[in-house]
Structure 1
Amino acid sequence: MGNLFAVCGFSIKQSREASFNKALHLNDTLLQALKELGLEHKHLHALYQIFSAMDRDKSGEINMLEFLDYVDLDRSRFSEKAFSVMDRNCSGEVDFVEFVLAVWNYCSFNHSSLVRFAFDLYDVDGSGEIEHAEVMRCVREVWGSAWETSGTAQKIVDKLDTIMEDGYSAQGPRKEILGARN
Structure 2
Amino acid sequence: MTVLVRSETMTDPQLPTWLTPPPEGFYAEDLDHFPDLPAHTELLDGSLVFVNPQASFHSLTITVLELGLRRHAPSGFRVRREMSVVLGPRQRPEPDLIVINADADLGLNVTAYQPADVLLAIEVVSPDSTTRERKPQLYAAAEIPHFWRVEQKDGRPTVYVYELDPATRSYALMGIHHDKLHLSSPFEIDIDLTEAERL
Fold match by TM threshold 0.5: no
Higher relative contact order (CA 8 A, sep 6+): 2
Q: Which has the higher strand share?
A: 2
Q: Which has the larger radius of gyration?
A: 1
User: Relative to total residues, which structure has the larger helix share, 1 or 2?
Assistant: 1
